[in-house]
Copies of this chain bind each other. A is one copy, B any other.
């Protein structure tokens, strides 16, 4: 069953890396109604405590989930790239527990909860895929707690870079890889729980060790193995690269 190109393709791909959906179910996902929206850098497009009627999906760009202390310090609790649905959970929990902000000019699409709920009710396998997606996000969060709680600055940074490289599916050739990562050092600081100054020094250190280089738009990893070792990075928790036959499907086809 062929299907026209859609902003939702990357999202469907993401679901399919971990869940099994029939052709009909895939079409149902792609046919979800969407409203595209451009968000400029450093703009919240979901506010704390806002009650949502839509979930959004990142089409292009970079989105951060922000928490914040009463002293005004900000902490990024999750980074979301194209294909991610940063607030899919709002389908069952519409009150936003944290803000979403674009870190660069970002295009998102909004999908009405009504449509998501309808498709989840009609196709239990899609509900299952949504639940699984939330679960994988939680596994990533749990890694972030370990990262921020127990690792030193270099290790933290290396881990984050490895995670993002994996999620961007950066092609690994000859122990090198590179991927577009349009993030400032200030935002890296908010993601790692460091200060911007120390992020700068940490990156300098990783560069001097010959592990990677970075500019505003792009990360070049020059020694993947060493960076992964330094970051204590093991990709398993991301549930990427699941072999097709290992994907799980509970729901029976309609």
- Show the binding face of A for B, using Cβ within 8 Å: 49, 65, 67-70, 73-75, 77-78, 89, 91-95, 97-98, 117, 120-121, 124, 127-128, 130-132, 134-139, 141-146, 148-151, 155, 192-193, 232, 236-237, 239, 248, 250-252
- The residue in chain B whose Cβ has the minimal distance to the Cβ of A92 is B132
A150 and B248: CB pair below 8 A? no
Rounded to whole Å, the gap between the CB of A85 and the closest CB of chain B is 13
A94 and B138: CB pair below 8 A? no
Give this chain's copy count.
2
A148 and B148: CB pair below 8 A? yes
- The residue in chain B whose Cβ has the minimal distance to the Cβ of A131 is B131
Query: Using Cβ atoms and an 8 Å threshold, which residues of chain B touch A117?
Result: 250
A146 and B251: CB pair below 8 A? no
B250 and A142: CB pair below 8 A? no
How far, in angstroms, from A155 to B250 measured CA to CA in the complex? 43
B132 and A93: CB pair below 8 A? yes
A131 and B77: CB pair below 8 A? no
Rounded to whole Å, the gap between the CB of A26 and the closest CB of chain B is 19
How far, in angstroms, from A164 to B76 measured CA to CA in the complex? 23
B232 and A145: CB pair below 8 A? no
Please give me the 7 A-B residue pairs with the lowest Cβ-Cβ distance, nearest first: A149-B193, A67-B146, A138-B138, A89-B135, A141-B141, A131-B131, A148-B149
